Amino acid sequence: MSTTELVLRLALTAAAALIATGLYGALSQQSVVMIMMGLELVVNGLLLAAGAFWWAGGAPVVASVLIVVLVTVMAVEMAMGFAVALALYRARQVDLTDDAAELAG
C-alpha cells in the first residue's frame, strides 16, 4: 500500500468514526442542542473525508467545492436548529425532545 493510500484510508477511518459518533449522539440524546452537536459531528466527519479525497485524488476542484457546501450545510443546520429550539422553548418551556412529543394542548 502506498503512503498516499495509507493516509487516505487513515483519514477515512477517522471520518467513519466521527460519523458513527455523531449518529450515536443524534439518536440517543434528548436535549435539542445535544442532538445538533451530533449532527455537527456527522458533518465534521464528511469534511474530513472530503479533504482526504481532495488530497489523495489529485486535487479535484469539486472536492473543495464539496467542502464549501458542507460548511454551508453546517451553518444552515445550526441556524435552523437554534430557531427551532427557541420556538420550542417559547411555546412549551421545554428543552428535551421527549417533552415535545405530545401534540399541542
Q: Which of residues 65-94 bind other proteins (CB under 8 A)?
A: 65, 67-69, 71-72, 74-76, 78-80, 82-87, 89-90
CB 105 to other proteins: min, Å? 17
Nearest distance in Å: CB 102, other proteins? 15
Nearer to other proteins, 9 or 103 (CB): 9
Distance CA(1)–CA(35), nearest Å, equals 38
How far apart CA 86 and CA 103 sit, in angstroms, is 17
Give the count of beta carbons closer than 10 Å to the beta carbon of residue 60: 11
Q: Is 48 in the site for other proteins (CB under 8 A)?
A: yes
- CA–CA dist 8, 48 (Å, integer): 10
Q: Which grid coordinates belong to 31?
A: 436535549
Applying CB under 8 A, does 47 fall inside the site for other proteins? yes
Least distance from C-beta 58 to other proteins, angstroms?
A: 4
Q: Which amino acid is at 95?
A: D
Shortest distance, position 21 Cβ to other proteins, whole Å: 5
